[in-house]
Amino acid sequence: MLRELDASERSKFEEMLRTIRQRSPRNQLRRNLHDSKRRLDRVGFSVPPHMVDFQTPLGWGEKTVSVPSSRIRPEGFRLPGNGTELDELQEVFDGRYVSRSLRGAIKSSLRHGPAFVFTASGDTSAGDPEVIIVVRTAMQATCIQDSRTGIVTAALEVVSGNSVNMHVPGWILAIDRVDGRWVVVDEARQGHDVVGCEPFVWDWDVDRPFGRSRITRPLIGAMERGVRTLLRMEVTAEFFSAPQRALLGASEEHFTDESGNRIDLWKAITGGVWALPDVWDDEEGKLVRAQLQQLSQASMQPHSEMFKSIGLQVSSETSMPMSYLGIQENQPASADAIRAAEADMLSLIEYQIELSYESAMLNLARKVLAVKRATSFAAIERVTRGLSIRFADPGTPTVAARSDAALKYVQAFPDGDPELAMELYGLSDDQIKRNTEYMRKSNAGSVLDRLVGGDVTGERPPAPSAPEDS
């Protein structure tokens, strides 16, 4: 089928396509910086032209993104009563591909600001899962959100250069460019009323609903200064490897052989012993002795100090410790010093989880259930009241600290939930599940033993007495 976009569809389509294209140059720049593919445009006069190619990109852009994203780890959903909805969610999200895709969405959101997770019904007859989850970067997708509720009302994902999918409530429109016009070539009716797209956003703000990239303009400027500083260090190192000498009072005959041919200068420089005869000076009327002097080289310390100062700026901008940037402090850091250095970064990550990623994961979970059950979003909200998600601790607490927290919880609440104590200890959802199953089997075995003994109270009945003689 081929049909034109109606007025409402065309307005949304053009708005979203324009957004992707306008932000594409800046997103491409951040991608190149993250992948260490960008080279300096302005080098400076202190670097010889033939040494410009010696520049090496800095990996600070990738480090700025990967370090916090590796600390944002969704563990699993929680639902009071452990209904069937929780089993359905675990069936979808426990898949390795889905888990990997969501981690990729989190990392991409730190690189560009937003990332977009799309959900759609799969063709089970063709071997697809019931729900397909696809992640698109900000270079490939965008969406429109209601300014009052934040609900996604339309979304666009670029499949290829001239093929896109537009998601609207209840429909997925396949749009291609045909004869210079964007037309609908196919449309799929969905059994739900949601737009199958959820944005994952880093540093959401009222003025910036799609957040901010971790690769900020101050960081980009610091990275360029860092590359130039390292390049100047490389130039200085070249001069160190070839010390500058001055030979005073030498004559041209010192650099020619017996046949009058000039001696190779490299052989003269690398000669083990320099021995030059005195030269008779007609004007002075005496022998003149040649003198060899070595010129002092410029120190590399100013470059290293400047590089360290740039690292301090990057550390302040990214909230990461200096050691993460490859700049070691004078003294080895203790465990307490490491935790103190990470405090700012960890508080930032915890804030972003509560601000954005927790609600995004819950919205995505409800949309997955709506797609899976082919029902409305409101119906899913009613049956998933109290749904929550657990994120792993973004810090790196020691085993002793986790044990202490779990022990204090058990002492304060002896009849409390044992699963919460295991969470405080730092066990994963899979480990908690295995522990609870083991305890359930152990408890069932104890009850069975008591039943066989004839007393569910745990006390064995007295042995039967011998019958009396009649």
Residue 409 lies in a domain: no
Q: Is residue 232 part of a domain?
A: yes
Packed helices 429-453 and 418-425: angle between N→C axes, nearest 10 degrees: 140
pLDDT value at residue 96? 76
Structure confidence at residue 229 (pLDDT): 85
Q: Are residues 174 and 280 in the same domain?
A: no
- Our count of domains for the chain comes to 2
Measure the CA–CA gap between 349 and 353, rounded to whole angstroms.
6
Of 396, 411, 438, which residue sits at a domain end? 396
- Segment 199-249, tens digit of pLDDT: 999 999 998 999 999 999 999 999 988 888 888 888 777 766 666 666 666
**Does residue 66 share a domain with residue 116?**
yes
- Residue 368, domain member (yes or no): yes
pLDDT in tens, 175-209: 999 888 999 999 988 888 899 999 999 999 998 99
Q: Using one digit for the tens of pLDDT, what is the confidence trace for 287-330? A: 776 666 666 666 777 888 889 999 999 999 999 998 888 887 66
Percentage of the chain exceeding pLDDT 90:
41
Residues 125 and 264 in one domain: no
Does residue 13 form part of some domain? Answer: yes
Q: Are residues 249 and 383 in the same domain?
A: no
The span from the CA of 347 to the CA of 328, in Å, is: 23
User: Do 274 and 303 fall within a single domain?
Assistant: no
Do 239 and 250 reside in the same domain of the chain?
A: no
Domain span at 290: 245-294
Which of 380, 396, 412 finishes a domain? 396
Residue 57 in any domain: the answer is: yes
- Which pairing describes strands 163-168 and 197-201: parallel, antiparallel, or unpaired? unpaired
Q: Cα 256 vs. chain centroid, distance in angstroms?
A: 64
Distance CA 100, CA 105 (A): 9
What average pLDDT does the segment 83-96 reach? 86
Residues 6 or more apart from 141 whose CB is under 8 A from it? 20, 116, 118, 155, 156, 157, 158, 197
Residue 123 lies in a domain: yes
